[in-house]
Amino acid sequence: MSFIEAKNVYYRYPQAEKDALCGVSFAVEKGEYLAVIGHNGSGKSTLARLLNGLLQPTEGEIAVDGISSADKSRLFELRRRVGVVFQNPDNQLIASVVEDDVAFGPENIGLKREEIKERIDFALAAVGMEEYRKAMPSRLSGGQKQRVAIAGVLAIRPDVLVLDESTAMLDPRGRREVTDVVKKLNRENGMTVLAVTHYMDEVCDADRVLVLSDGAAVMEGTPREIFSQKEKLQKYELDVPVPMRIAELLKEGGMPLKEIFTKEELGEELCRLLRKI
């Protein structure tokens, strides 16, 4: 059995006329980084909320490490193991000092004082915010706030980090801060990551991509596999990253480019082909 397993999951919001998710199945292995993309209203955020039981499937089952979200007796444990960071940095911090905010989770699970202190140290170091432990969240930038929100989640030592468009409201610098932290947690600490995003370049960091459209899982594969199917993506109202669009125009014009994926790769290819001899 996979670490995260969704089997034929349906969800319909109360009073809604149609399903937000209709029969989605997917699996994520421990330590994997899965990106979830899809047009506005495709069901991405609903999926994120089902993972830790904030919402319950109307049909089907979703389980993390064998804990089904429908098992009410283990809901607390599920939430300890699946940490969710949402979109708006201003809606997620509740304390007036950074370290108190990070302590909120550990205090709620009833840890001892010493242990809480250790967890705060660990979590703030993991997101590079040690210097700000006494700072007021209201005086931080968007990227810093989101890093504190991630620290608050890390302090309860979850197995899975779920990001629901956590970079959407940030500027490029803030986005980089957050994506770097997430990448590091995944690569160095083996954190399982499920990231919902609209930014095609963030998708490139993932091991695998799940594409949702109108509540159904319509594509799945490595970023390279997904982005090599431009027409299919456009059918689902998505697009390939800009470097790939440029490469396609150049190829149409006759340049013998290798398969490229990132702007760095395209830059190297162009220099190789055009450099003066």
Partner 1 sequence: MQIVAENLSHVYSPKSKFAVAALKNVSLTIEEGEFFGIIGHTGSGKSTFIQHLNGLIRADKGSKKLTVGEFDLLDKECDFKKLRSKVGMVFQYPEYQLFADTVAADVAFGLKNFENPNEAETAARVKEALETVGLDYEEVKDKSPFDLSGGQKRRAAIAGVIVTKPEILVLDEPVAGLDPKGKTEFFRLLHALHGGFVKTIVIVSHDMDNVAEHCTRAAVFDKGEIYRVAPPKELFRDAAALTAMGLDVPVTGYLAAQLKAAGVFVDTDFTVADFAEKTLEKWRERQ
Q: Tell whether residue 106 is a contact of partner 1 (CB under 8 A).
A: no
> How far apart are the C-alpha atoms of 155 and 195, rounded to whole Å?
19
Q: Please report which residue ranges of the chain form alpha helices under DSSP H.
A: 44-51, 75-81, 98-108, 113-126, 142-154, 172-189, 200-203, 223-227, 230-235, 242-252, 263-274
Min CB(23)–partner 1 separation in Å: 21
What's the min distance (Å) between Cβ of 245 and partner 1? Answer: 6
Binding residues among 172-191 for partner 1 as defined by CB under 8 A: 172-174
- At its nearest, how many Å lie between partner 1 and the CB of residue 34? 18
Cβ pair 248, 64 in contact under 8 A: no
Count of residues that bind partner 1 according to CB under 8 A: 39
**Which residue carries 């991405």 as its tokens?**
44
CB of residue 246 vs partner 1: minimum separation in angstroms? 6
Q: Does 72 bind partner 1 (CB under 8 A)?
A: no
Contact 59, 10 (CB under 8 A): yes
Buried residues in 252-276 as b, exposed as e (16+ CB within 10 A): eeeeebeebbebebbeebbeeeeee
| Binding region for partner 1 (CB under 8 A) out of 2-10, 20-28, 38-46, 110-118 | 38-46
Spatial CA neighbour of 216 closest among 39, 56, 67: 39
Return the number of the residue (44 or 79) whose C-beta is nearest partner 1: 44
Q: Does 40 bind partner 1 (CB under 8 A)?
A: yes
Among 224, 245, 258, 259, binds partner 1 (CB under 8 A): 245
3-state secondary structure of 56: coil
Residue 216 near partner 1 by CB under 8 A: no
Return the C-alpha torsion angle 89, 95, 98, 104, nearest 10: -100
CB of 40 or CB of 73, closer to partner 1: 40
**Binding residues for partner 1, per CB under 8 A?**
38-41, 87, 141-142, 165, 168-169, 171-174, 198, 200, 234, 237-239, 242-243, 245-246, 249-250, 253-255, 263, 266-268, 270-271, 273-276
